[in-house]
Structure 1
Amino acid sequence: MSSFVAAAVQMRSGRNVADNIDAAATLIRAAAREGATYVQTPEMTNLLESNRASLFQKIVAEEEDPGVHAFQALARDLKIFLHIGSLAIRTGETKAANRGFLFSPDGALVSRYDKIHMFDVDLPNGESWRESNTYERGRESIVADLPFARLGIAICYDIRFPAIFRSQARLGAQVLTAPAAFTRQTGKAHWHVLQRARAIENGAFVISAAQGGLHEDGRETFGHSLVVAPWGEIVAERDNDEPGIILAEIDTAKVAEARRRIPAIANEQAFDPVEVDGLAEAAP
C-alpha cells in the first residue's frame, strides 16, 4: 500500500487533563469518520500548564497516565494508527518527559519518543521559556514502520534541527512529523518555511498537528496545522488557530518521485569544516 489518508488534529489544550483528553478524542473520532487511518494530535495534547508547581500536581507516570490509557483504547476502537504528538509525563519527583506515543489499530504501543531539543529561548516580545528546567531531553530519534509508510517522529522545536530529519530520511522515512505548540510570535515568522524546508530537503511528506489560540495558562500558540508534500507544496492547512481537523491523502510514490528528481540524500557528501583567519597579514 502506497497511499493512505492522514489527519492532523488542531487543539487548544488547557489546564484540565480530563477535558483535554475528551476534546482530543472528539476530534480524533471525527477524523476517523472522515476516513483517516493515521491521526496525529499536537504537542502537549493532555496539558498546557506554564506554572511548574501546578504542572507537577497534575501529571503522573506513564503507566498511570489517563491519556495513555484512553488513547490506546481509542486507537483500538477506531482501528487507526494514532500518533499522540506528546503528553507531559512524570519521570521523577521534579522532572518530566515531553513524550510522544504511537499506537497501532490493535491498541499496541508501537513507539514512544521523548523530545530531544528543549525550547530554552528569550523572545523579543519578552516571552521567556526554559523547557530544560522541567523536561528531560530524549536521546533517540525514532523511525517507525507502518504498513503504508516509514514514519519519522519528532516534536515542535526539533523542526529547527535538520539533522534529525535527515537521519530519519536516510533510514527511509517517507513521512516526517513535528507536532507542535509553536508560540504565536515564532509561528508567524517561521512555521511554514520550516515545515516546507524539511519536506523539500528530504523529499518527504511532513505532517505537523498544532496547538492554536489563547490558552488558559496565558500563552498564545500559532495553530496552522500543516501537511506538506515532498516537493514543498502545502496540501492541507488549518488556516487559523481554531480547534479542528485537516485531512490529506498521502501517496508515498511522490516521495520516490521527489527523490529521483533531486537526489539530495544520495548526493550528500562528507566534508571537513575549515576556519580561515580573514585578518591574517598579507604575504609580503
Structure 2
Amino acid sequence: MVHIINVACIQNCATDDLQGNLACLDDLIHEAVHRGADTVALPEACEFLSDDNDAMKAHAKPLDDHSAFRMLQSRAERHRVWMLIGSLTARDENGLMVNRSLLVNPKGDLVSHYDKIHMFDAKVPGQKMSRESDLYRPGTRAKLVSLFGAVMGMSICYDVRFPHLYRSLAKAGATILSVPAAFMQATGEAHWHSLLRARAIENGCFVIAPAQTGHHYGTRHSYGHSLIVDPWGRVIADAGTEVGVSMGAIDLDEVTRARSSIMSLNHDRRFEPPAPTAMQDPVNGRCGA
C-alpha cells in the first residue's frame, strides 16, 4: 500500500463561461502534475456557475454527453493521475439534475460517484435566498472508494455541517474525507476552517477540501482557502484566496498514529436521546414555544 499521497487542490473561480472555466482548469491541472501531484482534486461546481436557474438546467447533461466530464476524464488519463472532480452539474439515469462528485483513475475510468445529500437551502446575509433543492435531486447514499490503498469518504460542501455523515464514513473505514466546495465568503470566514478541522479531528482522518474562490456573478463570492488537514487537525496546505494550486503530502501512517493516541472511534456508546421540552421564559419563569 502507498503510504504517501501527493495531493494537489485546484482552486478556481467558475462562471457561466464553460469554455473559459475548462481552459483555466486545464492549465491548473497541468501545473499540478508538473509539481508532482499523483492525485488532483477539483472544487464543487468546478465547470459552471450561474445565477440563472434556466442556464444551470440547460447546462446539466448526462455524463455520456457532458463535455466537461469528458475533458477532465481525458486529462486524468493523459497525465496518469487520480482525479477527484469535486462536482459537476449533471443529470442522473432518470434525467434529474444532481450535484455529482466523481473519482476518475489514471486510466480515465470512472471509479465512483457521489450525489450531494444535503441541499444548501439557506439565507446568507447579503445574498438572495439559496435553494439548491429547487435545482437538484438530493443523493441518498454515502460513498466510500479505494484510493492508493486508502479509503476515501466522499462528500460535497454543505454536507460538512452534518457530522454524523462523516462519523458513519469513518466507522465504515474511511481514512480520507473529501469535501470539495464553493463555500460563500461570509460563511467561509465564519466556519470553513473550524468545520474542516473538526471533521478531521473527531474522525482521525485526513480532509481534502478543494474550493472555489473569488467573484462568480452579482453578489456571489466564494471564500477560497482550499485546505488539506491532517488527522490531528493541523492544516498542511491552505491555498489562500488566489486562483491556483496548493500541494500537500498525505502520510497515511498519521491516521494510525492519531487513532492509536485518541481512540474515540472505538468509544461510541448508545444512549437514550433527550425528550423534547418547552423553553422556559427567563424573565417570568413561564414555559412557552
TM-score (ref. length: structure 1): 0.94
Q: Which runs of 5+ in 1 are unaligned?
A: 280-284
CA contact (8 A) 1:98 1:114 kept: yes
Q: In the alignment, which residue of structure 1 is the partner of 2:250?
A: 250
Number of residue pairs the alignment of both structures matches: 280
Q: In the alignment, which residue of structure 2 is the partner of 1:274?
A: 274
Q: Alignment identity in percent?
A: 37
Matched, 1:239 2:230: no
Deviation at 1:41, TM superposition (A): 0.3
* Deviates most, 68-77 or 192-201: 68-77
CA–CA distance in structure 2, aligned partners of residues 45 and 263 of structure 1: 36
Deviation at 1:95, TM superposition (A): 4.2
Deviation at 1:126, TM superposition (A): 4.3
Q: In the alignment, which residue of structure 2 is the partner of 1:59?
A: 60
Deviation at 1:63, TM superposition (A): 1.1
CA–CA distance in structure 2, aligned partners of residues 77 and 88 of structure 1: 23
CA contact (8 A) 2:127 2:219 kept: no
Q: In the alignment, which residue of structure 2 is the partner of 1:160?
A: 161
Q: In the alignment, which residue of structure 1 is the partner of 2:103?
A: 102
CA–CA distance in structure 1, aligned partners of residues 218 and 112 of structure 2: 30
Q: In the alignment, which residue of structure 2 is the partner of 1:7?
A: 8
CA–CA distance in structure 1, aligned partners of residues 180 and 124 of structure 2: 21
1:96-115 deviations in Å (ceiling 9; x for gaps): 11001100001110001110
In the superposition, relative to structure 1, how do residues 126 and 80 fare at CA in structure 2: closer, same or farther (>3 Å)? closer
CA–CA distance in structure 2, aligned partners of residues 93 and 149 of structure 1: 32
Deviation at 1:61, TM superposition (A): 1.8
1:68-89 deviations in Å (ceiling 9; x for gaps): 1111111111111000000011
1:121 corresponds to which letter in structure 2?
A
Q: In the alignment, which residue of structure 2 is the partner of 1:214?
A: 215
CA–CA distance in structure 2, aligned partners of residues 204 and 91 of structure 1: 30
1:210-255 deviations in Å (ceiling 9; x for gaps): 0101113541110010011100011110122x21011011001000
RMSD over aligned Cα atoms: 1.9
SS of residue paired to 2:10: strand
Q: In the alignment, which residue of structure 1 is the partner of 2:43?
A: 42
CA–CA distance in structure 2, aligned partners of residues 203 and 91 of structure 1: 33
CA–CA distance in structure 1, aligned partners of residues 277 and 92 of structure 2: 47
SS of residue paired to 1:57: helix
Q: In the alignment, which residue of structure 1 is the partner of 2:263?
A: 263
SS of residue paired to 1:26: helix
In the superposition, relative to structure 1, how do residues 260 and 19 fare at CA in structure 2: closer, same or farther (>3 Å)? same
Deviation at 1:22, TM superposition (A): 1.7
Q: In the alignment, which residue of structure 2 is the partner of 1:69?
A: 70
CA–CA distance in structure 1, aligned partners of residues 211 and 79 of structure 2: 22
1:249 corresponds to which letter in structure 2?
A
SS of residue paired to 1:270: coil
